[in-house]
Amino acid sequence: MKRLLVTGTDTGVGKTIVSALLCAALDGIYWKPVQTGSREGTDRETVRRLAARAAGDEIPEAYCFPEPVSPHLSADWNGVRIRLDAIQKPLLPQTKWLIVEGAGGVLVPLNDSDFMVDLMKHLGFPVLLVARTALGTINHTLLSLEALRQRGIPVTGIVLNGEENPDNREAVERYGRVPILGWVPPLPEISRQALRRVFEEHFDKTYFPI
């Protein structure tokens, strides 16, 4: 199934860069169901620019709020309650890749009772977890994996983002019992060409059939 939900161990860990990379490399359709901080621009716009994709290669957000805060809080400020049943899977051919980006980390609250992990369960897509390479990533990654597994959400693998760190990579793979599918090194310039080059050089393409 050519469907992946990109989540992360934290906010700002590199989910949007990885989503853009996959859209560029796999000719994928991008969708971020819940967006906050749209006043500063949306991740949909960022992916379109970085992956050099057309406007038709993306799906509008189900919920979009201007404030750069947690979804539950931004929704409350705007007099809205985020409802999982209002977020439905797009109808796309199974031959087409769909790259879905979550908001924040696994346990970011959406409302009084649902978290981002509940939206993942609702959509039913396998998860790709983006993690930093730096100090602290082992704990953050293992906690995220535990939360996903407790809810029976399949984890395809992990993508690491940052300076190369073989020791942390080995520890995450060993203790997390999950494959490292790719690594995004620091990029002096982020463009479609640069992202495709990273995919070719640093990703295990057996997990991403075109």
Cα(165)–Cα(50) distance, integer angstroms: 26
Q: Give the list of residues 6+ apart from residue 118 with CB closer than 8 angstroms, or none.
A: 84, 110, 151
Q: What is the CATH classification number for the domain harbouring 130?
A: 3.40.50.300
Q: Give yes or no: 32 in active site.
A: yes
Closest residue by Cα to residue 112 from 72, 77, 141: 72
pTM of the model: 0.96
Is the model's pLDDT at 67 over the cut of 90?
yes
User: Is the distance from CB of 71 to CB of 102 less than 8 angstroms?
Assistant: no
* Tokens found for residue 158: 């992990």
Domain that holds residue 173: 3-207
Q: What is the mean pLDDT of the chain?
A: 96
Q: Give the list of residues 6+ apart from residue 15 with CB closer than 8 angstroms, or none.
A: 6, 7, 8, 101, 102, 130
User: Is the distance from CB of 67 to CB of 36 less than 8 angstroms?
Assistant: yes
Q: Find the distance separating the first CA and the last CA of the chain, reported in whole Å.
A: 11
Per-residue pLDDT of 131-160, as tens digits, reads 999 999 999 999 999 999 999 999 999 999
From 32, 89, 121, 205, the catalytic residue:
32
Cα(113)–Cα(80) distance, integer angstroms: 14
Q: How confident is the model at residue 54 (pLDDT cuts 50, 70, 90)?
A: confident
* Count of structural domains within the chain: 1
Cα(185)–Cα(206) distance, integer angstroms: 20
